[in-house]
Amino acid sequence: MKIVWTRHSKERQGEWQKKVGITRQEVEDLLRNPEQVVPGDLEAFVAQTRRGNGLLRAPFIEIEGGRKVLTVYWTSKVGKYWREEQDANPV
C-alpha cells in the first residue's frame, strides 16, 4: 500500500517524534495495519492504535493505491475516540 504524506503530516510527525518518539515508520505501520479505523471529518477516516496510555491517531483519505496522511497525533483521551467494534473499521 502506498502512503502519501502531506507537508502538514510530515511536520506533525516530526513534532510528535520529539515529544513522545513517534516515528515515521510507526505511522506508516499504523496506516497499513490499524488496530481500528473510525469515521473522521468529511470523507476522511482515522486509523488509530493504542500506544502507551493513549492513542496514536492518523486521519487519512483513501487514494488510488493507498492512503494520504492528513495529520498525525497522540492523545490521552482514549474514551473519547475509541469505538466499540460495531462502530469501528468502516473501511
CATH code, domain with 25: 3.30.2310
Domain count, the chain: 1
**6 is a domain residue:** yes
Average confidence (pLDDT) over 40-62: 94
Three cell numbers written together for 63: 487514494
Separation of first and last alpha carbons in the chain = 14
Residue 90 pLDDT grade (very low, low, confident, very high; cuts 50, 70, 90): low
Query: Is the pLDDT at 5 greater than 90, yes or no?
Result: yes
**16 is a domain residue:** yes
**87 is a domain residue:** no
pTM: 0.88
Q: How open is the CA angle 87-88-89, to the nearest 5 degrees? A: 135
Query: Is the pLDDT at 89 greater than 80, yes or no?
Result: no
**43 is a domain residue:** yes
pLDDT score for 83: 86
**Contact status, residue 78 vs residue 49, Cβ threshold 8 Å:** no
* Close Cβ partners of 91 (under 8 Å, ≥ 6 residues apart): 37, 45, 62
**89 is a domain residue:** no
User: 69 lies in which domain range?
Assistant: 2-81
